[in-house]
Structure 1
Amino acid sequence: MLFTKKALTEDGFTGFRVFDELDPMRIPQGPGIFVVLRPAGFEPVFLNKSTAGTFKKKDPSLKREALAAEWLADASALYIGKASAGSQGNRGLRKQIQEFMDYGRGRPTVVWDARLIWQLRDALDLVIAWKELPAEGLSAAEADYHAAFISAHGRLPFANLVQARARK
């Protein structure tokens, strides 16, 4: 699968909102997968310090060399994540994406895996898309998207530091 807007739209993804213009109330509340994309012409400029909040008192910043080593110049998808319903059934895409955005604004949270996004100077120009999925197939779907990306690009997207595995 190509992780372009066209391919993702054909696969059922919607939204495609620029972070800076994102209205959380327009994001579905159910569980699903979300993808962070860079717009056409986006060139990475890595910040010395991340705008993201701390997690367990750890600074989310990486050295520029480490960020450059993760960057894939030919990939438009920068992160593929999931939003489960949570143990109480009150999580989902809206809450997960809101927490992701809050994290980028410096608030502490547990969205540690995607921290590289917030060390990009123009992170608010990035685009997010989502696809609602049933909770029971979510882990397998995330693992499948990660595997498809690796098949196309040889490794995970820029901000995915851990490959998802389908739970048995």
Structure 2
Amino acid sequence: MSACPSTGGVYVITYNGPAAFVERSCGGWFKGKDPTVPRSALLANWVEGAEVVYIGKADQLRRRLTQFADFGEGKPIGHWGGRLIWRLPSVEALRVAWKETPGRVPVEVESELIAAFRQAHGKPPFANDPHRLGA
């Protein structure tokens, strides 16, 4: 993570593995809330054929990606963005890429990337804006 800049920008998480899911999330519980969602929600949010599983933004990329990794290690992090990722069976298959956005507001760049993904696939990446989290 030391190579990651502290500046603002966007990041993309890719996964090149099967649409299979582990039973329980390894993500941290925040304020006693279990990050595990029903399998039906995972299946509803899965985007067949897409390697991108999450697009995020950060005012400080290194801090945000550290939080993301800490959450995946079971630490109680309050930011649950991308939490569906921690149900994938091979977290070793995850790859992270980032891009600094000097002169641009990261949230605007993130919105453009998600809109382009949605246009190409009909819905957002797997772990962005989960639309069917059912109980």
For structure 2, the 5+ residue unaligned runs are: none
CA contact (8 A) 1:45 1:122 kept: no
Q: Who is 1:29 aligned against?
A: 6
- Counting matched residue pairs gives 131
Match of 2:99 among 131, 134, 146: 131
Q: Which has the higher contact order (CA 8 A, sep 6+)?
A: 2
Give the TM-score of the pair, scaled to structure 2. Answer: 0.90
Separation in 2, partners of 1:94, 1:35: 13
**Paired AA for residue 71 in structure 1:** W
Pick aligned residue for 1:106 from 42, 66, 74: 74
Match in the other structure for 2:53: 78
Q: TM-score by structure 1 length?
A: 0.73
- SS in structure 2 at match of 1:112: coil
Query: What does residue 13 of structure 1 align with?
Result: none
Bigger helix fraction: 1
**2:62 corresponds to:** 94
Structure 1 runs not aligned, ≥5 long: 1-23, 85-91, 164-168
Q: Which amino acid aligns with 2:19?
A: P
Distance 1:69-1:123 versus aligned 2 partners, 3 A rule: same
Aligned partner of 1:151 among 110, 119, 122: 119
Deviation at 1:162, TM superposition (A): 6.1
